A = this chain, B = another copy of it.
Amino acid sequence: MRADLARRLGDLDLRTTDASILVLVGANPGITQSYLCKMLEIQRANMTPLIARLDVRGLIVRAVADGRSQGLALTDAGSDLAATALSAMYAHEEYLLSLIPDEQRPHIMPLLSSIWRE
């Protein structure tokens, strides 16, 4: 399942984490790196090169929030790519669901929800 998503996002030159960041920043403009770290459970030290790479690619901009923190936002190119990445994520989910026989399909989400985070 992870490989299928990675392949779809790889076609956009994105890793899974890159895509998550783009979509989250798109939905939360002005978000800080620290808050992104909490949402994605990534160490601060490891977020730095991730953001730097998206910045270099012209997908994200950093604006000074206070002296310590930077509010992140998508560029137009970043916004376009985030939309494409989100479509790829939905296509991934649709693909997985399509593998499940019709009559069983309604059961999968409640089942997975009962395992998630507990």
Contact indicator A96/B115 (Cβ below 8 Å): yes
Stretch at the interface among A17-25, A46-54, A71-79, A106-114: A106-114
Question: Given A99-B118, A118-B99 in contact, is the A111-B108 Cβ separation under 8 Å?
Answer: yes
Nearest chain B CB to A113 CB, angstrom units: 10
- A118 to B98 alpha-carbon distance, docked (Å): 11
Partner of A104, one of B99, B101, B114: B114
Per assembly, the copies of the chain total 2
Nearest chain B CB to A109 CB, angstrom units: 10
Nearest chain B CB to A91 CB, angstrom units: 15
- A115 to B92 alpha-carbon distance, docked (Å): 12
List A residues at the B interface (Cβ < 8 Å).
1, 96, 99-101, 104, 107-108, 110-111, 114-115, 118
